[in-house]
Amino acid sequence: MTEEASGRGRAFPRETLEFERVAFFSDAIFAIAMTLLAVGLDVPKIADEVSGKELLEAFDDMGSQILMFFISFAVLGSFWLAHHRFFGRLSTIDRRVTGVNLLYLAFIAFLPFPSSVLGAYGDNAVAVGLYACCIAAISLTGALMSELSVRRGLYRTTPDPAVVRWQRVMSVVPGAYFLATVPLAVVLPSTAVYSWILLWPLTVVLQRRMPKEVLAGFER
C-alpha cells in the first residue's frame, strides 16, 4: 500500500532531513518567542539618571509587565517541554501533522503580543480575554496534533488505549480551562487572571488519578 493510499500522504521518518528541519524550526520559533518576551520590556526613563528612588519607582510601575514576562516565559517553557516530549515519541511525521504544527507555532510566535498587552492593561477585559484565547489555541492545537499522530500511526510505539484517553484529557483540559475564564474576564478581569493559578492544582489532581501504568506510558 502506498503512502497516498494509506491516507498519510508524504511521510518523513525520524532519520530524514525533513523530520529534523521541522524539529529544529519548531525549537527556533520557541526560542524567538521567548526572546521577544524580554525585548518587549523597555528600559524605564527617569528625569534624574542617578536617582535610585526614581528608578525603583519606575520599576514598580513596570511591575505587571515584568510579572507577565516571567509568567509567559514559564508558559512557553512548559509548552516547549510538551512539544519536545511529543517529537521525542514520533517515529515519523507527515504533511498533515506538519501543517498543524505550523499553526501551533503561529500561536506560539503570537503569544508575546497578548503578553505585552496584558502586562500594560492588566484590568482590561479584552487584554485578559485575548491572552486566555491565545493560550487555549496553543493547547487545543497541540491536542489536535497529538490526536492526529495517534490516528495516523506516527508514534514509535503505539500507545495503549488507556494512555490515549488520558492523553486526550491532559491535552484538552488547559485549553478548555482558559476558554472557560473568558466570560469571567468580561465581568472580573483581575479575578480571571488569578483563577489561572487553579489550573496547576487541577493538573496535579488529574495526574494523581492516573493509574501508575498509564502514567508511565504517558511520560514515555
Neighbours of 107 (CB within 10 A): 20
pLDDT for the residue numbered 12 = 87
Q: Which pLDDT band, with edges at 50, 70 and 90, does 5 fall under?
A: very low
Give pLDDT tens digits for 133-180: 999 999 999 999 999 999 998 988 887 888 888 888 888 899 999 999
Rounded distance between C-alpha atoms, residue 90 and residue 61, angstroms: 46
Residue 5 belongs to a domain: no
- Residue 7 confidence (pLDDT) above 60: no
Residue 187 belongs to a domain: yes
> Domain residues for 72?
11-218
Q: How many domains does the chain have?
A: 1
Average pLDDT (208-219) is 67
- What are the distances in angstroms from CA 88 to CA 19, 23, 94, 195? 11, 10, 15, 32
Residue 2 belongs to a domain: no
Average pLDDT (71-84) is 93
Q: What is the pTM of this model?
A: 0.86
Residue 3 belongs to a domain: no
Average pLDDT (55-79) is 86
Give pLDDT tens digits for 101-145: 999 999 999 999 999 999 889 899 999 999 999 999 999 999 999
Average pLDDT (53-65) is 80
Residue 80 belongs to a domain: yes
Residue 166 belongs to a domain: yes
- Residue 67 confidence (pLDDT) above 90: no
Residue 84 belongs to a domain: yes
Residue 6 belongs to a domain: no
Phi-psi region of 107 (alpha: psi -120 to 50; beta: other; left: phi over 0): alpha
Rounded distance between C-alpha atoms, residue 133 and residue 176, angstroms: 10
- Residue 16 confidence (pLDDT) above 60: yes
Rounded distance between C-alpha atoms, residue 117 and residue 168, angstroms: 31
